Structure 1
Amino acid sequence: MSAAAAVLTPRKSPVQARSAATIAALHIAAIQVLTREGLSRCTTTRVAERAGMSVGSLYQYYPNRDALLAAVLEGHLTSIACAIDHACREHRGKPVSEMASALVAAFVAAKLRDPEKSKALYAVAAERGGPELITAMQTRMIAAIAAMLASAADAHFEELPVTSAMVFSVLAGSVRAFLEGHAPAGFEAHLEGQLVRLLTAYLQTHQLGPAARAIDGPVGLKTKSPNR
């Protein structure tokens, strides 16, 4: 383990319900301080006070503020990745229109369940350890999207890695534009519907014709002709 990674590593993992509850309280407190006072004022002292415990108790689990915030960010990103994983697994073999709808719904719900938290964590993502976490989770989500698209009942993707990365970029970029205030009034109300239309149209450019669907079968697997 590198020295940089060691600085961001928790001192210990929760093995009992009480420890898990303490860590959950610290994560909640960190988010509350972060959203109300900003990254520069999000200190271990303020977080511990918000959580109703001593700084010493915080240090039993995290060696510093950055390690705590990295854990909070990782938890946030993991919840989003799990939502994408689930949606992608549930919609393998479906038409691309259904895939697009499910993917948009899962991503938007995960990111906008707590908009202030999502927005505040963008600042954390730029700190030590943040870029590495972001890259790892994005890779995981793009891989899940690729696996789903590869099974599409009505489309074939020649450049699957590129297509999957484009889909994710459209989702992440659009939601971030809204969260950071770079979108016009009324953007949120139409966000999900517009994303579904956008991704559906994009994915349908790769649709198979009727003859190709008959040959490939419902999940893009070659089937034998009865005359062979």
Structure 2
Amino acid sequence: MTVVPSDSLKPRKSPRQARSAATVAAIFEATFQVLLSDGIARLTTTRVAQRAGVSVGTMYQYFPHKQALLYAVLDQYLGDVVLAVQAACARYEGASLRDMSDGLCSAYLDAKLRHLPGSRALYVVAAELDTAGLVADVVGRTDQAIARLLATASDAVFDDVETVTFALRSMLVGTVQAVLEKDGSAASLAILRAQLPVMSRAYLVEVSRSRPNTKGMSAG
């Protein structure tokens, strides 16, 4: 599902050729850089264009103003996180509860930290824009992937997989956001990477039941 932003946040056009895609990628990277160096209050499309090495006219071909640019950057960033979660869920389908939990945590953290420290600035960006529809879509796709994964655990069964999915996703998102917004230092990130899987495993073990072993049982 593609979320359509409000008219005020829509890009003027989307890149359709490799050269255009490269231009937009350079603009997005420049946006991260300007956010880090100048902050969201001082970010302008002119500054981003200068950092990206493109003309302001080229910038306006895609993004009519600052808010549309920031929305597009956030949209791509969150989309990348969802794709990483979906890929991990597909990879660990049918695995043990421990393996799927650890794999999911690792994939989520890798995706969130890939653009660090620029990704920290996106929490501020999200608070500045109308992102309700975008966030709802991201949550929906993430929950769908996680619920499908948990239902295939080779050694565990959940009586209410939807509730477990909600709690697990909330824990992952909230814990990572709390650490990144407050600190984001190498030491904090190392603790996060070590402890988040422990938290996830402990919760999933607590709310699950062992899957009955049906091997060797007769059909009757």
TM-score by length of 2: 0.90
Render the CA deviation track for 1:44-103: whole Å, top value 9, x for unaligned.
Answer: 111112112222211111111111111110111111111100111111111111111001
Aligned to 2:218: 226
Distance 1:205 1:83, change over 3 A: same
Q: Distance in 1 between matches of 2:22 and 2:219?
A: 65
Calculate the aligned-residue CA RMSD, in Å: 2.2
Q: Which residue of 2 aligns with 1:181?
A: 182
2:212 corresponds to which letter in structure 1?
Answer: R
Contact 1:119 1:180 in 2 (8 A): yes
Bigger Rg, which one: 1
Count of aligned pairs between the two proteins? 217
Q: How does 1:67-216 map to 2 (within 5 A)?
A: 67-181=68-182, 186-209=187-210, 212-215=211-214
Distance in 2 (CA, whole Å) between partners of 1:101 and 1:124 is: 30
Per-residue deviation, residues 133-160 of structure 1 (Å, max 9, x unmatched):
2221122112111110011111111221
Show structure 2 runs of 5+ residues with no match: none
Q: Which runs of 5+ in 1 are unaligned?
A: 218-223
Summarize the Cα distance change of 1:161–1:16 in structure 2 as closer, same or farther, 3 Å threshold: same
The answer to whether the 8 Å contact 2:113/2:119 transfers is yes
Partner of 2:30: 29
Change (3 A) 1:194 1:26: same
Say which SS state the counterpart of residue 209 (structure 2) adopts. coil
Cα distance in 2 for residues equivalent to 1:64 and 1:92: 43
1:4 Cα shift? 6.8
Amino acid of the structure 2 residue aligned with 1:52: G
Structure 2 CA distance, aligned partners of 1:199 and 1:165?
13
Q: Tell me, in whole angstroms, the C-alpha distance in 1 between the residues paired with 2:184 and 2:111.
A: 19
Inter-CA distance 91–4: structure 2 relative to 1 (3 Å threshold): closer
Alpha-carbon distance between aligned partners in 1 of 2:111 and 2:36, rounded to the nearest angstrom: 18
Name the SS for the 1:126 alignment partner: helix
Secondary structure of residue in 2 paired with 1:41: coil
1:167 positional shift? 0.9
Partner of 1:221: none
How many percent of aligned residue pairs carry the same amino acid?
A: 41
Q: CA deviation at 1:185?
A: 9.0
Could you list the structure 1 runs, at least 4 aligned residues long, displaced by more than 4 angstroms after superposition: 182-185
Distance in 2, Cα, partners of 1:136 & 1:181? 26
